Chain A
Amino acid sequence: MSKVALTVNGKPVEVEVEHRTLLSTVLREALGLTGTHIGCDTSQCGACTVHLDGRVVKSCTVLAVQVQGQSVKTIEGLAPSFDASGARLHPVQQAFSECHALQCGFCTPGMIMAVTGLLQDHPQPDDQQIIHGLEGNLCRCTGYVNIIKAVKQAAQMMQA
């Protein structure tokens, strides 16, 4: 067992973990942040996507001990990072809701974290950039059409 200190959604936390414990397990089980979903556990689906020091990663494929001293943002931290009171949705969440970019919603937290990562690199992405940028996230319901629509709407909202 080791102690790992990290920052999660802006707050410093310290957890005691086995070395084989995954970051996703710490987020969901030790910290109760169950918005980070586990869809496959084989590094394919992206449902577990979070930001690690500002870059998207699959938290089921990172060991908790690897992130000592680093900063993690999960879906729970997204709205407060945009609006300190957390009363308003982040524009990407808002656009997903308005464009009906989800059906069962299982992929949605990972999808939204991937989209916010994509918009950092490409603030006004075209279709190809959106498709390429979301290759690590699978959705079994929507057929992606409304997800692409939501990304474009979010990009506009964030520019305004």
Chain B
Amino acid sequence: MYEFSYVKPASLDEAAQLLANHDDAKPLSGGMTLIPTLKQRLAQPSHLIDIAALTELRGIEVTAGQLIIGAATRHIEVATSMTVRTALPALAALASTIGDPQVRNRGTLGGSVANNDPNADYPAAVLALGATVHTQRRAIAADDFFQGVFTTAIEEGELITRIAFPLPTRAAYAKFPHPASGFAMTGVFVAETGGRVRVAVTGAGPGVFRWREAEAALADRFAAESIEALVVDPSGLNADIHAPAEYRANLMKVLASRALRAILNSSEGAVA
């Protein structure tokens, strides 16, 4: 690791001020992506601003039909929170599949969404549920937030403070985890919210994306058969040592069907 100065601000204002004062400062949340990146000398921040304990970034609550989760909420907290498990069980189930226990005990919602790894799980939930990403400056709709591999609408010095998830009538996430890391080789989140179906795919393409053909097919008929009838064009999908693009194209259908079967076979209509 290159040298840096670690600072632990006492408030969100102070954190924002520190980021504004130091061009090369970076927020540090759970550190589960940032610390490995620093160890490989792939980044050289002047300062790390530790935001993990800021009270403004913590907490889980349901208000006005939305589940609101602070950016510094750890994966384990989302996975085990009774509030999340009751209001949005598919999100709790998703969080319980991230990485491993050690990673879930440190990693945070805001860190994962800000990082926007093309194989990360949370971005699929944020996009499929049509969530709103709040920062200290503004509110950003999920459709505008994710902008491709490791790229988001977040600007220099901007901090995700919380994410507001509208509560779906039914939702489920299914993923094919990479056997070593747990990251999604492909993951599909299906959600019906306010009568509208949205389907988001992570891991398969260059960044999370909405699968419009699946959304249209499910709006016609909300059943696994609607997905199975679709043809997925593999061009533009990811190909790497783990799987060719055709394999991921097939996984999209398999996982969307699994998510639908989970929804339609469960009494609560919301498991992963």
Contact = CB atoms under 8 A, between A and B. Distances in A.
Contacts of A68: 8
A19 B103 CA distance: 21
20 contacts: A2-B6, A19-B5, A42-B36, A42-B39, A43-B35, A43-B103, A44-B180, A44-B181, A46-B100, A52-B105, A55-B76, A56-B101, A56-B102, A63-B35, A66-B28, A66-B52, A133-B101, A135-B100, A135-B182, A136-B102
A43 B2 contact: no
Contacts of A11: none
A44 B40 CA distance: 14
A57 B1 contact: no
Contacts of B28: 66
Which range holds the interface residue count of chain A?
A: 20 to 34
A62 B31 contact: yes
B102 A19 contact: no
A14 interface: no
A115 to B, nearest CB: 11
A137 B101 CA distance: 10
Nearest to B99: A136
Contacts of A133: 101
A150 B84 CA distance: 34
A117 B101 CA distance: 9
Given A44-B180, A49-B102, A20 B1 contact: yes
Interface string A34-78: 000000011110100100100111100111011010000000000
A118 interface: yes
A103 to B, nearest CB: 21
A27 interface: no
B246 interface: no
Contacts of A83: none
Interface of B: 1-6, 8, 28, 31-32, 35-36, 38-40, 48, 50, 52, 76, 99-103, 105-106, 180-182
Interface in A94-137: 114, 117-118, 133, 135-137
B101 A61 contact: no
A41 B39 contact: yes
A46 B102 contact: yes
A18 interface: yes
B105 A56 contact: yes
A114 B38 contact: no
A52 B180 CA distance: 24
A21 B62 CA distance: 39
A20 B3 contact: yes
Contacts of B48: 19, 63
B100 A61 contact: no
B180 A57 contact: no
Contacts of A46: 100, 102
A43 B32 contact: yes
- Please provide the 5 A-B residue pairs with the shortest distance between their CB atoms, ordered closest to farther: A136-B100, A19-B6, A135-B100, A20-B1, A136-B102
Contacts of A56: 101-102, 105
Contacts of A58: 102-103
Contacts of B103: 43, 58, 136
Contact of B36 (A61, A135, A137): A61
A19 B48 CA distance: 9
A136 B4 CA distance: 28
A132 B191 CA distance: 26
Contacts of A66: 6, 28, 31, 50, 52
A118 B1 CA distance: 31
A57 B106 contact: yes
A20 to B, nearest CB: 4
Given A42-B40, A63-B31, A136-B99, 16 more contacts: A2-B6, A19-B5, A43-B35, A56-B105, A57-B105, A61-B31, A61-B35, A62-B35, A63-B6, A63-B35, A66-B6, A66-B31, A66-B50, A114-B101, A117-B101, A136-B100
Given A66-B50, A114-B102, A136-B100, A20 B31 contact: no
